[in-house]
């Protein structure tokens, strides 16, 4: 029987891949709320060093867990899907998956000459997951191959593979629409996580499985009067540490965007905003936190370790790293 041997939680945004020397360029041309601090280059360099340390710690943890299979829960930002067909939940069943062609992000510690990394899938387990989710009352889409090869597999999947692996571990992407309204809710994401745990344990082949929650935390880059809600992030991480998924779901789905917060205005169509009605909760990139909540649902009731939370104001974004392994 397959066995869940660990869960990793990781941010994957630009400030996890772009060294701090490039952060001033990210900051240029963006508008920030008045209370967002302005970091010196020295402060940014220190936060990049913490980000690198977080990635390396999780890379070491994954090596310690010795997985045969990874299940990565992340969102898709017009890579596999476009607005002519954008599911709330999808499972990838392909034999292989490739990153979008282009320069490799910095400091992945692997294959410095490999600009177009690809990774193996696991069609048998992916099929088990797909049919099991259908049987449990979910309605996932599925992909037998990458629908948009010129765009590649979602960066929410490929970036963690670059952070933590040499792209050699078979991987099953579970894509959640955490970005474009109308999005999936935190409650539904936690339910997906619970179902994934059960389906891992029901799989008849002996596999050591690690789940990765990839995304977030709070970030509203390139939006008007962007800001970072550190209190919201820290409270969610406290719930993760305690294994209290229900409270994290309540916090997330119960959040109401203030009428004077244009960084989360969902009514005007622009980059990342469809203009369609959105559920309650934070909007924009901050909804990638849902991928953490889905992974937390896999281990509901069991405490996790948060390695670091790094508020990066140049973006702004809350970078964070954590893990769970069996007692």
Mean pLDDT of 26-35: 91
Query: Is omega for the bond preceding 182 within 30 degrees of 0, making it cis?
Result: yes
Rounded to an integer, the average pLDDT of 127-139 is 98
pLDDT tens digits along 252-294: 999 999 999 999 988 888 877 888 988 899 999 999 999 999 9
Q: Model confidence at 113, in pLDDT bands (50, 70, 90)?
A: very low
Q: Cβ-count burial of 234 within 10 angstroms (0-12 exposed, 13-18 middle, 19+ buried)?
A: middle
Give the model's pLDDT for residue 163: 93
Q: Could you tell me the pLDDT band of residue 105, with boundaries at 50, 70 and 90?
A: low
Q: Which of residues 68 and 115 earns the better pLDDT score?
A: 68
pLDDT at 156 over 50: yes
Rounded mean pLDDT of the chain? 93
Q: How far apart are CA 293 and CA 298, in angstroms?
A: 9
Distance CA 309, CA 38 (A): 18
For 134-139, the CB contacts below 8 A with 24+ separation are 136/195, 136/198, 136/199, 138/89, 138/191, 138/192, 138/195, 139/88, 139/89
If you ran DSSP here, which 8-state letter would residue 20 be given? G
Element (H, E) at 91: strand 89-92
Among candidates 167, 240, 209, 216, which has minimal Cα distance to 71? 209
pTM (whole model) above 0.85: yes
Give all domains of the chain, ordered by start, each with its CATH number: 3-324 (3.40.830.10)
Task: Give the integer Cα–Cα distance in Å for 19 and 108.
Answer: 11
Residue 128 CA, chain-centre distance (Å), reads 22
Mean pLDDT of 139-166: 93
pLDDT, tens digit, for every residue of 203-260? 999 999 999 999 989 998 888 999 999 999 999 999 999 999 999 999 999 999 999 9
Is the distance from CB of 107 to CB of 44 less than 8 angstroms? no
pLDDT category at 110 given cuts 50, 70, 90 is very low
């Amino acid at each position: 029987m397959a066995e869940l041997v660990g869960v990793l939680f990781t941010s994957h945004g630009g400030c996890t891949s772009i060294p701090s020397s490039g952060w001033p360029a990210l900051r240029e041309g963006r508008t920030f709320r008045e209370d967002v601090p302005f970091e010196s280059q020295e402060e940014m360099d220190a936060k990049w060093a913490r980000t690198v340390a977080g990635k390396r710690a999780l890379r070491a943890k994954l090596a310690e867990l010795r997985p045969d299979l990874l299940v990565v829960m992340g969102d898709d930002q017009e890579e596999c899907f476009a607005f002519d067909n954008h599911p709330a939940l999808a499972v990838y069943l392909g034999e292989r998956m490739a990153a979008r062609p282009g320069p490799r992000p910095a400091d992945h510690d692997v294959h410095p000459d490999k600009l177009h990394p690809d990774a193996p899938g696991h069609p048998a387990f992916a099929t088990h997951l797909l049919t099991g989710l259908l049987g449990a009352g979910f309605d996932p889409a599925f992909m037998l191959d990458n629908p948009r090869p010129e765009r590649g597999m979602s960066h929410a999947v490929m970036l963690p593979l670059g952070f933590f692996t040499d792209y050699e571990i078979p991987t099953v992407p579970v894509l959640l629409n955490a970005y474009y309204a109308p999005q999936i809710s935190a409650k539904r994401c936690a339910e997906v996580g619970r179902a994934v745990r059960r389906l891992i344990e029901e799989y008849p082949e002996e596999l050591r499985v690690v789940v990765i929650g990839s995304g977030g935390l709070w970030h509203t880059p390139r939006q008007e009067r962007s800001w970072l809600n550190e209190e919201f992030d820290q409270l969610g991480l406290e719930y993760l540490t305690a294994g209290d998924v229900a409270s994290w779901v309540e916090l997330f789905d119960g959040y109401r965007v203030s009428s004077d917060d244009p960084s989360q205005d969902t009514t005007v169509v622009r980059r990342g905003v469809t203009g369609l009605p959105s559920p309650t909760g934070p909007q924009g990139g901050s909804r990638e936190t849902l991928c953490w909540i889905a992974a937390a649902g896999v281990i509901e009731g069991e405490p996790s370790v948060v390695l670091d939370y790094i508020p990066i104001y140049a973006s702004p974004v809350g970078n964070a790293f954590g893990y769970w392994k069996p007692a």
